[in-house]
Amino acid sequence: MQPIGLYIHVPFCVRKCSYCDFYSITDLSLTDVYTAAVVRNINAADCCFDTVYFGGGTPSLLSAKQIYEVLSAAKITANAEISMECNPNSVTADYLKEIHSAGVNRLSFGVQSFDKDELKMLGRLHSSEQAVNAIIAASKLGFDNISADLMLAVSGQTFKSLRCNLDIISKLPLTHISAYMLKVEEGTPLAADKELLSKIPDEDDTAEMYLETVQTLEGSGFEQYEISNFAKDGFECRHNLKYWRCEEYLGIGPAAHSFIDGKRFACPKNLSEFISSDVQKTVTLDNGGSAEEKAMLSLRLTKEGLSLDDYPQAEKPAEILIKNGLLKKEKGALKLTPEGCLVSNEIICRLV
């Protein structure tokens, strides 16, 4: 049996952040029945997994015992990557020790910023000090694969505050950093706040912030391997690479997506329905894994790129993009430059 990835959507939050449109609820009394439903669905799946990813929501609102129950139900290969998203304010040293014993071997901290004003604007519940202390504590407790999220071009961000964020994050015991630009999603509190929207850096400043982030992180030993992701050698997120390489994964939980046997499908955004169903209901989205989709996702991978052996038709339209510094050709593949990452959608449309 070929192992695949397992994504588990944990739909619980203490409160919603102003920018977030992921499915979550604040009723934490449902974590036990939710966990039982996850275990039930894992047992029903005839699959073996070499990556597991607890996403959310806030997975660290589950107890270590609940995490252990989920992992115990899954057929997991030796040396599997088992990732868990954590908020810095929802973990303690004891909790980190317990989830490490339960099998979690990779943490992803939702830091977003170390600036108190930016954290307040984003609706984050942690302080800069809590974020730093949580990452250091995790490292001391034996986690040797730790990631942190950093948000760029948020409302009110300046080059000074960005550089302070980069200085702090690059010195922490991290192996991976996700640095992504703020996207204003319809229906979120941020989208309705005209004052905050007016303070978002303009396109030129946003581009400069991104390019400075790439340069700073690469100078600190974090190689860019995807448009928004940077890792020390050998610490690329194996689970997320499955998405970008069009490899199979099973999603469990309300709002979770899956890709199996060439089909993409999703579980409805309804926790009550997920809990009450013997097997989670899903909605088929479309066929997946087409040549065009694979090409599009390959171009996101800045280290691997788009193979010209597989897509020779892309070479001719790439010439002008290479000349303009948006693409580079290396070892028979087309790869986005940092400048190209800023206009990746347009480049993808021209090549694919």
d(CA 260, CA 115): 41
216/169 Cα distance (integer angstroms): 11
CA distance 50 to 76: 6
CB 256 within 8 A of CB 266: yes
* 28-87 pLDDT, tens digit each: 999 999 999 999 999 999 899 999 999 999 999 999 999 999 999 999 999 999 999 999
In the chain, where does the domain assigned CATH 3.20.20.70 lie?
Answer: 4-243
The predicted pLDDT at position 19 comes to 80
Position 100 pLDDT exceeds 80: yes
Q: What is the pTM of this model?
A: 0.94
**Beta-strand (E) ranges in 153-186?**
176-181
Window from 216-220, 230-234, 270-274, 346-350 with minimum mean pLDDT: 346-350
pLDDT value at 189 more than 90: no
**Residue whose pair of structure tokens reads 């581009």 in the numeric block:** 207
As a whole number, the mean pLDDT across the chain is 94
Q: Which CATH superfamily is domain 4-243 in?
A: Aldolase class I (3.20.20.70)
pLDDT at residue number 132: 97
Q: What is the mean pLDDT of residues 120-126?
A: 89
CB-based contacts of 263, cutoff 8 Å, min separation 6: 284, 286, 287, 288
Does 151 score more than 80 pLDDT?
yes
pLDDT confidence tier of residue 323, bands split at 50, 70 and 90: very high
Flag whether pLDDT at 287 surpasses 90. Answer: no
pLDDT digit string, tens, across residues 155-184? 999 999 999 999 999 999 999 999 999 887
How many whole angstroms separate alpha carbon 324 and alpha carbon 322?
5
Helix (H) or strand (E) holding 39: helix 31-44
Neighbours of 28 (CB within 10 A): 13
Indicate the burial class of 21 (C-beta count within 10 angstroms; 0-12, 13-18, 19 or more): middle
Residue predicted with more confidence, 20 or 180: 180
